[in-house]
C-alpha cells in the first residue's frame, strides 16, 4: 500500500470531501472513514459521495467495531474500500475469515496495548498490519498519550502502525525512534471533532517525511 522506503500515513475520521482532498494533496497515503460509534461517524452513502471524487491511488480505509462479515462486505462494496480497520474485539479467526472471504482487501487490526507484552502478543493476528492505539475503550473520546517507546524495544516495527495521541509536534520523534510501518492520526489534525485543519495535516505529513530514514 506504500513504498517500502516510506512511512504509511493515514488521515482518519474523514467526514468532508475538502478534508479528504487536503489529506491527499499533503501526501498522505490513505484516508479513513469511521462506520462505528464515533463523533466522526459517517454512513456508507456519505463516504461513497467522497470516495468517488478521489484518485484511485488513494487508499480508502473503513473503520469497523465488531461488525459482521456481511456488514463489512456491504460497506466495502458500496464505498469502494481498499481496506478495513478492525477496531473492536475481533479475534485472529475473524481476521482470517475476512481475508479468506475478500482476498483482495487489506486488513488492519487495532489492539489497545496496556503493556509491552500486549504489543508482543499482537503478532498472533495475521493481518496486513497491526495498529497500536493505547486509547481506553471505556473512554473512546478521551485524551490519549502516545504509546511508550519502551514497549517497542526488541520488537520488529515492520508490521506496526502507531496511532493515538499523535500530532504534528510529536510524530517526528516517534518516527525517528521506532521507524514504524505507518502512523495514523485523526484528532491531532482537527480544528474540532470531525473537522480537519488543512495546515495541521500538512504539518503532520511534513514532520513524518522529514523524520523518516531509508529502510534497508
CA 7 – CA 212 distance, rounded (Å): 7
* Contact between 189 and 206 (Cβ < 8 Å): no
User: Residues with Cβ < 8 Å from 103, sequence gap 6 or more?
Assistant: none
Within 8 A by CB and 6+ apart from 120, the residues are 155
121 is catalytic: no
Instruction: Supply 62's cell numbers.
Output: 473503513
Distance from C-alpha of 205 to C-alpha of 172, rounded to nearest angstrom: 9
Q: Which of 12, 19, 82, 184 is catalytic?
A: 12
From the candidates 128, 133, 136, 184, give the one annotated as an active-site residue. Answer: 133
Residue 213: all three cell numbers together = 530514514
Contact (Cβ atoms closer than 8 angstroms) between residue 37 and residue 65? yes
Q: 66, 39 in Cβ contact below 8 A?
A: no
Give dist(CA 213, CA 215) in Å, integer. Answer: 6
Question: What is the rounded distance in angstroms from the CA atom of residue 126 to the CA atom of residue 173?
Answer: 28
Helix, strand or coil, per DSSP, at residue 63: strand
3-state secondary structure of 216: coil
Q: Is 133 a catalytic residue?
A: yes
Name the residues annotated as catalytic. 12, 133
Amino acid at each position: 500500500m506504500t513504498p517500502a522506503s516510506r512511512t504509511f500515513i493515514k488521515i482518519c475520521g474523514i467526514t468532508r470531501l475538502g478534508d479528504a482532498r487536503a489529506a491527499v494533496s499533503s501526501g498522505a497515503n490513505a484516508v479513513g472513514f469511521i462506520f462505528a460509534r464515533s463523533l466522526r461517524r459517517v454512513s456508507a452513502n456519505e463516504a461513497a459521495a467522497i470516495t468517488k471524487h478521489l484518485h484511485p491511488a488513494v487508499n480508502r480505509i473503513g473503520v469497523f467495531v465488531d461488525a459482521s462479515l456481511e456488514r463489512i462486505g456491504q460497506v466495502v462494496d458500496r464505498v469502494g474500500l481498499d481496506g478495513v480497520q478492525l477496531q473492536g474485539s475481533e479475534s485472529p479467526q475473524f481476521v482470517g475469515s475476512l481475508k479468506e472471504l475478500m482476498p483482495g482487501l487489506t486488513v488492519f487490526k487495532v489492539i489497545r496495548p496496556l503493556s509491552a507484552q500486549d504489543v508482543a502478543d499482537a503478532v498472533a493476528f495475521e493481518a496486513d498490519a497491526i495498529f497500536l492505539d493505547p486509547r481506553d475503550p471505556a473512554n473512546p473520546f478521551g485524551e490519549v498519550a502516545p504509546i511508550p517507546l519502551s514497549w517497542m524495544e526488541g520488537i520488529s516495527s515492520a508490521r506496526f502502525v502507531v496511532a493515538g495521541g499523535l500530532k504534528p509536534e510529536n510524530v517526528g520523534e516517534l518516527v525517528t525512534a521506532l521507524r514504524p510501518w505507518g502512523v495514523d492520526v485523526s484528532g491531532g489534525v482537527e480544528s474540532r471533532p470531525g473537522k480537519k485543519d488543512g495546515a495541521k495535516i500538512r504539518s503532520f505529513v511534513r514532520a513524518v517525511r522529514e523524520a523518516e530514514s531509508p529502510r534497508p
